[in-house]
């Protein structure tokens, strides 16, 4: 069951009150990344996560996301309940895309399993810039597309609550 609240789709019964969420995002492809972070934050707040419980840090690129996410989760004075690692990879003419996408997804999965804190894979792996814009709700067509940050926020709350038991 879903309904609209403050302009974002919220899942009924998903209550993030009291949860602490870490967002780590890249500076590569920043206009798209910023829209994704905004969509994520708005949805977290629509589900009750307090602004003071959302910590946002940035890193150069997607390849740095696993290390930074793990480091920040492990050094936190007050523990986080979930981490959302956000970036945008756009395929170029070399093999970089494949290597970075593979390392980042494997690395982020490992961070979640090793820290036992759910890590949400907020990395778009796009073949074109247009695909990235559309998946951040910035599409140039009549429909602006869907901001995937909304889904990542809901996944983070759902997994944090599951992990609390």
- Residues lying near ligand RBF in the complex (CB under 6 A) are found at 26, 28-29, 60-64, 87-90, 92, 96, 100
**3 catalytic residue (yes or no):** no
**Nearer CB in complex with ligand RBF: 25/47:** 25
Q: Residues in the chain, how many? A: 165
Shortest Å distance, C-beta 61 to ligand RBF: 2
Per annotation, catalytic residue among 25, 47, 96, 146:
96
Dump strand ranges (E) for 6-81: 8-11, 21-26, 54-59
Shortest Å distance, C-beta 123 to ligand RBF: 8
CB 88 within 8 A of CB 132: yes
Distance CA 72, CA 93 (A): 33
Q: How far apart are the first and last CA of the chain?
A: 22
**Nearer CB in complex with ligand RBF: 19/68:** 68
**Nearer CB in complex with ligand RBF: 102/114:** 102
CB 117 within 8 A of CB 80: yes
Shortest Å distance, C-beta 16 to ligand RBF: 27
Catalytic residues: 96
């Amino acid at each position: 069951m879903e309904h609209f609240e403050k302009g974002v789709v919220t899942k009924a019964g998903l209550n993030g009150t009291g949860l602490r969420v870490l967002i780590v995002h890249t500076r590569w492809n920043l206009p798209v990344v910023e829209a994704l972070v905004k969509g994520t934050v708005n949805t977290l707040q629509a589900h009750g996560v307090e602004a003071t419980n959302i910590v946002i840090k940035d890193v150069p690129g997607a390849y740095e996301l696993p290390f930074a996410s793990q480091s920040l989760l492990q050094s936190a004075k007050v523990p986080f309940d979930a981490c959302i690692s956000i970036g945008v990879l756009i395929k170029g003419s070399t093999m970089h895309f494949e290597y970075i996408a593979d390392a980042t997804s494997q690395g982020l999965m490992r961070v979640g399993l090793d820290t036992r804190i759910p890590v949400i894979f907020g990395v778009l792996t796009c073949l074109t810039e247009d695909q990235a814009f559309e998946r951040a709700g910035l599409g140039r067509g009549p429909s602006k597309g869907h901001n995937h940050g909304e889904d990542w926020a809901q996944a983070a709350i759902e997994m944090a609550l599951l992990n609390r038991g």
